[in-house]
């Protein structure tokens, strides 16, 4: 999974270089890159920019072993981070967006409350379907930072039972209003949370292995440049 994480970083910077290159040799590149409804720039194009974003996660734990968690429920958490959107070859329809997000996943049962903090990097393909509305789709990869059980941060002994790297697919829609962004997205986790079977429901001594993260996200963002 480390290779996937590194690959997404590499692709992100490659597209950044591609998006900002000047194939015609014109030194006035900044005049040809449209601004993205931001606080700093002008213009009516909306295919590039940088900014901050944050919002709410409506977590949706998935997997066949979810039924082994007695009195299970999903938890609502949050995410926050930065984004960069890069115009590709002066296209007003297509662009690439990369993000670096602190993202919290969580679930609870009658015997255990679990919070997982991750650094996640989506790489999204953006399609402008209307002047101020776009569709986003693409992969993401992440790394597990900390794990808390019943409010107590766990050490390496617990983290070793969990997959340190996670990956999945993301898709959603976003609207731009002046310098702000408002959007909704679903993140579909594709790898298991735990490496092997583990007793998570202590009261019923039930084990889990097939558990995956998923989350419906609602967010707002502010563009700067």
Query: Residue 204 is part of a domain; what is its CATH number?
Result: 2.40.160.20
Q: Check: CB of residue 189 under 8 Å from CB of residue 210.
A: no
**Around Cβ 196, how many Cβ atoms within 10 Å?**
9
**Burial environment of residue 57 by CB neighbours within 10 A (0 to 12, 13 to 18, 19 or more):** buried
What's the domain range around 54?
2-22+33-223
Structural domain includes residue 11? yes
Question: Is 8 domain-assigned?
Answer: yes
Q: Is residue 27 part of a domain?
A: no
Lowest mean pLDDT among 28-42, 67-81, 186-200: 28-42
Mean pLDDT across the chain, nearest whole number?
82
pLDDT tens-digit readout, 97-137: 999 999 999 999 887 899 999 999 999 999 999 989 999 99
In a domain, 207, yes or no: yes
Q: What pLDDT shows up at residue 106?
A: 96
What's the domain count of the chain? 1
Residue 2 has pLDDT above 60, yes or no: no
**Does residue 28 belong to any structural domain of this protein?**
no
DSSP symbol at 104: E
Return the H-helix or E-strand segment holding 4.
helix 2-20
Question: Is 161 among the domain residues?
Answer: yes
* Whether residue 143 has pLDDT greater than 60: yes
Instruction: Tell me whether residue 71 is in a domain.
Output: yes
In this prediction, residue 111 carries a pLDDT of 78
Higher-scoring residue by pLDDT: 28, 159: 159
Q: What is the pTM of this model?
A: 0.78
């Amino acid at each position: 999974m480390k290779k996937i994480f590194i690959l997404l970083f590499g692709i992100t910077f490659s597209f950044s270089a591609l998006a900002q290159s000047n194939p015609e040799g014109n030194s006035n590149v900044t005049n040809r890159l449209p601004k993205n409804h931001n606080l700093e720039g002008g213009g009516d194009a909306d295919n590039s920019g940088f900014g901050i974003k944050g919002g709410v996660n409506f977590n949706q734990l998935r997997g066949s072993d979810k039924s082994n968690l007695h009195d299970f429920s999903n938890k609502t958490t949050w995410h926050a981070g930065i984004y960069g959107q890069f115009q590709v070859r002066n296209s007003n329809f297509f662009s690439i967006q990369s993000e670096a997000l602190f993202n919290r996943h969580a679930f609870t049962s009658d015997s255990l409350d679990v919070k997982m903090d991750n650094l996640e990097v989506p790489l999204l393909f953006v399609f402008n379907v209307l002047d101020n509305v776009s569709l986003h789709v693409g992969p993401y990869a992440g790394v597990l930072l900390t794990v808390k059980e019943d409010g107590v941060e766990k050490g390496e002994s617990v983290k070793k039972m969990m997959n340190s790297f996670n990956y999945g697919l993301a898709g959603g829609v976003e609207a731009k209003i002046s310098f702000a962004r408002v959007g909704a997205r679903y993140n579909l986790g594709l790898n298991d949370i735990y490496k092997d079977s583990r007793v998570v429901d202590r009261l019923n001594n039930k084990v889990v292995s097939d558990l995956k993260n998923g989350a419906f996200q609602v967010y707002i963002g502010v563009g700067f440049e």
